[in-house]
Amino acid sequence: MKKINEIFYSLQGEGFHVGTPAVFVRFSGCNLHCDFCDTKHEQGRMMSDEEILAAVRNYPCRMVILTGGEPGLWVDDQLVTALHAAGKYVCIETNGTRVLPEGIDWVTCSPKQGTQLRVQRVDEIKVVYQGQDVEPYLQIPASAYFLQPCSCMNTTEVVDYIKGHPVWRLSLQIHKLIAIP
């Protein structure tokens, strides 16, 4: 059983896959306490892998994004295998502090300052920028490196930083900017 905050269908609003239709499986609970987190961790219900899979199958897209909270607290080989068996492309958005199961198709790591990364493979780094030193995150092998304004509040600062450090790309939360349901 896994604690699920919500399962919904929308477009990916940030990072590498922005604009792509996806089913979001939002897990409750996290091992960190970021002040900008948009998950209500006290909410949610316990669901079996079969119930999660049944909910995911209600939507026509191939991409499934496991997010949170911290999905690494809940996701296991059995869930990833079941999603693949259903023909899904499995993505995860993680803070990187947990070892993840093998077989996840795309790993987005959003590391937080002062934490030790335990994730084995990263496809994309996405840092919520609040003026912290982000250069150490470039040591993590990834295909893409994104800086994201914190809740759309410091966009000018992020743009200026990226212009001075062009290895980074801008990630905006377009789902918030244009109110994608």
Torsion of CA 27, 73, 50, 58, to 10 degrees: 30
The two structure tokens encoding residue 61:
């897209």
The Cα 158–Cα 135 span in angstroms is 14
The owner of tokens 């900017």 is 177
Q: What 3-state class would DSSP assign to 148?
A: strand
Q: Which residues are catalytic?
A: 24, 30, 34, 37-39, 93, 175
SS3 content of the chain, % helix, strand, coil (to 5): 25, 25, 50
The Cα 68–Cα 93 span in angstroms is 7
Number of helices (H) and strands (E), helices first, in the chain?
4, 9
